[in-house]
Amino acid sequence: MQLAFCLYKYFPHGGLQRDFMRIALACQKRGHAIRVYTLEWRGEVPAGFEVLIVPVRAMTNARRYAKFTTWTQCDMRARPVDRVVGFNKMPGLDVYFAADPCYEDKAQTLRNPLYRLSGRYRHFAAYERAVFAPDSHTEILMISQLQQPLFEKHYATPAVRFHLLPPGISRDRRAPANAAEIRAAFRAEFGLGADDFLLVQIGSGFKTKGLDRSLAAFAALPEALRRRTRLIAIGADEPSLFRRMAASLGL
């Protein structure tokens, strides 16, 4: 089959992006042709992938994503595909990989009611509804059971359309037989004592992932505990703002 994969951005270190790549490669291995629609691609393109950088621009993300949908649907009418798989919520998907939480629930519980009058809200709410509405035909791949009740609450999505995936942990990420030796070598490399604590925060987009809150919480630790605790943040982002924040907090 000719499969179309839709995602707004691809970069090799993103969690959603890594899931996309694993699934697309698995489909290709089974003999399916892979076409990818995206606004941005960073990194190598696997052999045999057709990657289309959708040439649309707009002042806001919501407007750009709407143009992305229009462009991709127009291209697929000219060059039909057998199935459309999305890694962001958008209309026209046969399958949606649910990497993001329920937008409508966050809008109702974490935002000021006036937020729901904005154009941004109308766009993202409509795109989520296109996937989860009862009359939608999109099949939904879930990586967590926690979000399913929220989608069912806000959209009355039939339970039969949800499919819970098993944990996608690669075998080479499991602790090897010499895990204790690796741990000891790592702690020695970074000067960590046997009784010291190490906190690790992994995720690109430090602001989105809350690195500022982690630094504030770290600074609030009792002094004796803070002295024997280390925080390491790993991700692809500009660190200068957070380095200045750490310095201002005395970390």
Please write the tens of the pLDDT for every residue from 219-228: 999 988 988 8
pLDDT per position as a tens digit, 229-249: 999 888 878 888 888 988 898
Backbone CA torsion sign across 213, 217, 219, 220: positive
Give the position of tokens 């200045």.
244
Average pLDDT of the chain is 92
The whole-angstrom separation of Cα 119 and Cα 144 is: 29
Q: Which of 133, 164, 195 is the last residue of a domain?
A: 164
pTM across the whole model: 0.80
Residue 65 belongs to a domain: yes
Task: Report the candidate in 62, 151, 61 with the shortest Cα–Cα distance to residue 104.
Answer: 151
170 falls within a domain: no
Provide the domain limits for residue 197: 176-248
What is the C-alpha separation between 44 and 12, in angstroms, rounded? Answer: 9
Confidence of residue 202 (pLDDT cuts 50, 70, 90): confident
CATH code of residue 212: 3.40.50.2000
pLDDT of residue 70: 97
d(CA 156, CA 152): 4
d(CA 114, CA 210): 24
CA 124 to chain centre: 16
Considering only residues 17 and 170, tell me which one the structure prediction assigns the higher pLDDT. 17
pLDDT > 90? residue 53: yes
Range among 68-82, 100-114, 155-169, 237-251 rated most confident: 68-82
pLDDT band for 169, please (50, 70, 90 cuts): confident
* Residues 6 or more apart in contact with residue 193 via CB below 8 angstroms: 187, 228
Residues 70 and 7 in one domain: yes
Are 135 and 158 contacting, i.e. CB atoms less than 8 angstroms apart? no
Residues 92, 84: contact at Cβ < 8 Å? Answer: yes
Tally of structural domains, the chain:
2
Is residue 7 in some structural domain? yes
pLDDT tens per residue across span 103-140: 999 999 988 888 888 989 999 999 999 999 999 999 99
Give the C-alpha separation, 184 to 215, whole Å: 26
The gap between the terminal CA atoms of the chain, to the nearest Å, is: 54
State which H helix or E strand residue 246 sits in: helix 240-248
